[in-house]
Structure 1
Amino acid sequence: MNEHLTVVDHPLVQHKLTLMRDKGTSTASFRQLLREITQLLAYEVTREMPLTTRTIETPLEEMEAPILAGKKLALVSILRAGNGMLDGVLELVPSARVGFVGLYRDEETLQPVQYYFKVPEGLQDRLVIAVDPMLATGNSSAAAVDLLKQAGATDIRFLCLLAAPEGVARMKEAHPDVPIVTASLDRALNSKGYIMPGLGDAGDRMFGTK
């Protein structure tokens, strides 16, 4: 992945995203759509996973067949909204290891504060995919990637549903080596840090909280 930002413009991705943006979409439908769209995005973010071969026997003959190389993928959810994307990737890569990063924003300093961090061992030997539906200011995403790098990760990708130009710029400045895969680069952030036109608060819509 050479580009810093990949926008997945596949028709199914764009169709499902439109349904998710619609404020009339129910919590149950939103969750289902998030799982489906994440699966399609995961297909793109894992495109360059390394392959090796192994000898197998088909019903007709022996062959050298391609198979994933190296240690299992590590999937890291940025709490809490990232959890809505875990299932979609795990359906595609059921053997992936899973970690969690919990950050909240200090209302005084507006800086991200860590409250939870639990990730698989051996991150330096794994492809690490961090998931969070919204890349808004990019502050918490950049902080989460900082923590993953401190834990040894060297091959990191960031998977989100929506990105704002401000968040993409912040991530590129902080982590130019971390490609971003998203379904849409939206217009801008509003004064409250929400992505416009966006889809509201992904966590609230996913879990039915306000």
Structure 2
Amino acid sequence: MEHFAEIQMPRAASAPIDRIDALVVESLVRAGSPEVRSALAERRLVRTVAEWAPGTGIDVVLRAAARGGRVHAEIRPLGEVHPGWRRDVAGALEGLATLERRRLPVGGGGPRQLAELERDPARARRRTEDVIPLRETQPLGAADVVWPTASRDASLELISVLRSAPGSFVRVLMAPPSDFERRMLIEEMSATWDRLSHPDFDTYLGSPVLARTL
């Protein structure tokens, strides 16, 4: 349901590098059920950012080292700095990672080429030309849009991909939606929701945030 859109970046000119207070993952907490703990931490982080004021957010970068196979994680404030953002992020990731405060370049550097992960409407919607056998009927409440289901394995797969490509990185920008954007999302989901497959609309909606993956 997603595809990559290539973004050509201009070559950066030589200039002083601006730095900002950020958080880096110093180490991971070793304990049982890492997949479950990771999923719960991600959920807490999304819920935390969703409660911030519009115009704030975080910039999460997962970066593969040029050698050694290690993946580094960096978290920077995005837009207007939310008061106490470091405390909120640390609370969301408690029990999963040990964080350290550092001064890092704004934006995490300027690559010359990016690929943005986008939702592909052409694949998300059922094709109108698909032929439905006469003996089959479309169930009442079945949606034209296929909404994705949650997965606990996506993050682990992403780490594996990064480790196989030294020097690569993935950048996730996350911010709370405005009231207008939240209403737009609810209206879109209400119009396309599959009540048979997912009867609990509110649980699926959860805490929506704005997100871009680069």
TM-score normalized by structure 2?
0.23
TM-score normalized by structure 1?
0.23
- Which of 1 and 2 has greater Rg? 2
Higher RCO structure, 1 or 2 (CA under 8 Å, sep 6+): 2
